Amino acid sequence: MTIDMSQFYQVFFDEADELLAEKERLLLVLDVSAPDPEELNAIFRTAHSIKGGAATFGFTDITDVTHILETLLDRIRKGEMALTGEHVDAFLAAKDVLDMLMAGHRHGSTVDRDAAVAVCQRLQALADGSSGTSPEAVVAPVAPTSAPAADAGPVADADGNFRFRVELPQVPERDVEALATELALLGSVSRETLADQRTAFTLVTSEGRDNIVAICAFVLDPDALKITAANPASAPAEAVGSAAPVEPVPVVAVPAPVASDPAADAAPASGENRNWGRRATDREPFNAESSSIRVGVEKVDQLINLVGELVITQAMIDQRIGALDPIAHERLLNSASQLARNTRDLQEAVMSIRMMPMDYVFSRFPRMVRDLAGKLGKKVEFVTRGAATELDKGLIERIVDPLNHLVRNSVDHGIEMPEKRRAAGKNEAGTLTLSAAHQGGNIVIEVSDDGGGLNREKILAKARQQDIPVSDTMSDAEVWQLVMAPGFSTAEVVTDVSGRGVGMDVVKRNIGAMGGNVEIRSVPGSGTTISISLPLTLAILDGMSVKVGDEVYILPLGYVVESLQPAPVDVKEIAGQGKLVKVREEYLPLIPLYQIFDIEPAFADPSQGILVILESEGKKAALLVDSLVGQQQVVVKNLESNFRKVAGISGATILGDGGVSLILDVSALLRSSRQLSNDPVFF
Amino acid sequence: MSKTILAVDDSGSLRQMLTFSLKAAGYGVIEAVDGRDGLAKAKQQTVDLVLTDQNMPGMDGLSLIRALRGMKKYQKVPILMLTTESDDAIKAEGRAAGATGWLVKPFDPDRLTEVVQQLIG
Question: CATH 1.20.120.160 in chain A, residues?
Answer: 5-139+265-284
Instruction: Summarize the confidence of residues A198-209 as an average pLDDT.
Output: 76
Task: Kindly report the nearest CA distance between residue B104 and chain A, in angstroms.
Answer: 6
pLDDT tens, position by position, A82-108: 888 888 888 888 988 898 888 888 888
Tell me the CATH number for domain A357-535: 3.30.565.10
A142-173: per-residue pLDDT in tens? 333 343 433 444 455 555 677 777 777 777 77
What 8-state DSSP symbol labels residue A410? I
Q: Are A90 and A126 in contact (CB under 8 A)?
A: yes
- pTM here is 0.48
The DSSP-derived string for B10-72 is S-HHHHHHHHHHHHHTT-EEEEESSHHHHHHHHHHS--SEEEEESS-SSS-HHHHHHHHHTSG
- For chain B, the domains span 4-120
How far apart are the C-alpha atoms of A93 and A662, rounded to whole Å? 50
**pLDDT computed for residue A231 by the predictor:** 54
Q: Is the pLDDT of residue A9 over 80?
A: yes
Average pLDDT score over chain A: 76
Alpha carbon distance A526, A426 (integer Å): 9
Asked if A126 and A111 touch (Cβ cutoff 8 Å), the reply is no
- Residues A392 and A360 sit within 8 Å (Cβ to Cβ): no
Please tell me what DSSP assigns to residue A412.
I
Q: Which of B50, B54, B38, B52 is nearest to B86 (CA)?
A: B54
Q: pLDDT digits over A401-453, tens only? A: 888 888 888 888 888 889 989 998 888 889 999 999 877 667 889 999 998 88
How close B12 gets to chain A, by Cα (Å)? Answer: 7
Task: Identify whether the C-beta of residue A524 lies closer than 8 Å to the C-beta of residue A452.
Answer: yes
The per-residue pLDDT for range A599-638, each reduced to its tens digit, is: 888 888 888 889 999 887 667 889 999 999 888 778 777 7
C-alpha A156/C-alpha A564 separation (Å) is: 87
Return the residue of B nearest to A63 by Cα: B106
List strands edge to edge, sheet with B4-8.
Answer: B28-32, B4-8, B49-53, B79-84, B101-105
- The closest alpha carbon to A622, from A636, A632, A630, A610, belongs to A610
Burial class of residue A272 (count of CB atoms within 10 Å of its CB; 0-12, 13-18, 19+)? middle
**Cβ(A199)–Cβ(A168) below 8 Å:** yes
Name the class of domain A297-354: mainly alpha
Alpha helices in A388-503 (DSSP H): 393-409, 418-423, 456-465, 476-482, 491-494
Q: Which CATH number fits domain B4-120: 3.40.50.300, 3.40.640.10, 3.30.950.10, 3.40.50.2300?
A: 3.40.50.2300
What is the nearest CA distance from B41 to chain A, expressed in angstroms? 14
pLDDT in the model for residue A215: 67
Nearest chain A Cα to B62, which residue? A268
Q: Give the type of residue at A119.
A: V
Identify which has the larger pLDDT, A632 or A50: A50
Q: Residue A156: its pLDDT value, please? A: 54
| Category of A586 on φ-ψ map: left (φ > 0), alpha (ψ -120 to 50) or beta | beta
Whether ipTM exceeds 0.85:
no
The bridge status of strand A586-592 relative to strand A578-583 is: antiparallel
* CA torsion through residues A24, A30, A32, A37, sign: negative
Residues of chain A with Cβ-Cβ distance to B55 below 8 Å are 45, 48-49
CATH 3.30.565.10 residue window(s) in chain A = 357-535
Contacts of A80 in chain B (CB under 8 A): none
Select the CATH number that applies to the domain covering A153-241 from these four: 3.40.50.970, 3.30.2350.10, 3.30.930.10, 3.30.70.100.
Answer: 3.30.70.100
In chain A, count of helices (H) and strands (E)? 22, 22
pLDDT, residue A448, reads 92
* Whether residue A493 has pLDDT greater than 50: no
CB contact under 8 A, B84 and A52: yes
pLDDT band, residue A546 (cuts 50/70/90): very high
> How far is Cα B61 from Cα B66, in angstroms, rounded to an integer?
9
Considering only CB atoms, A55 lies closest to which of B93, B101, B106, namely B106
A213-241 b/e (C-beta count within 10 Å ≥ 16 → b): bbbbbbbbebbebbbbbbbeeeeebeebe
Most confidently modeled of A45-59, A166-180, B77-91? A45-59
Helix (H) or strand (E) holding A189: strand A187-193
User: Which fold, A5-139+265-284?
Assistant: Four Helix Bundle (Hemerythrin (Met), subunit A) (1.20.120)
A79 pLDDT band (50/70/90 cuts)? confident
Neighbours of A103 (CB within 10 A): 15
Residues of A in contact with B115 (CB under 8 A): 214
Q: Which CATH code is given to the segment(s) A540-673?
A: 2.40.50.180
Asked if the model's pLDDT at residue A548 lies above 70, the reply is yes
State whether A3 and B102 contact (CB < 8 Å). no
Using the CB atoms, write b or e for B89-115: b if 16+ within 10 Å. bbbbbbbebbbbbbbbbbbbbebbbeb
Q: For A630, left (φ over 0), alpha (ψ -120 to 50), or beta?
A: left
CB-CB under 8 Å, A74 with B86: yes
Q: CATH 1.10.287 residue ranges in chain A?
A: 297-354
Asked whether the predicted pLDDT for residue A501 surpasses 90, the reply is no
- The pLDDT value recorded for residue A158 is 55
| pLDDT band of A673, cuts 50, 70, 90 | low
- Comparing alpha-carbon positions, the chain A residue that sits nearest to B63 is A272
Tell me the mean pLDDT in the region A470-490. Answer: 77
The share of chain A scoring above pLDDT 70, in percent, equals 78
Task: Flag whether pLDDT at A181 surpasses 80.
Answer: no
Over range A370-391, report the average pLDDT.
Answer: 87
In percent, the amount of chain A with pLDDT more than 90 equals 6
A2 confidence band (pLDDT: 50, 70, 90): low
Q: Is the predicted pLDDT of residue A582 greater than 80, yes or no?
A: yes
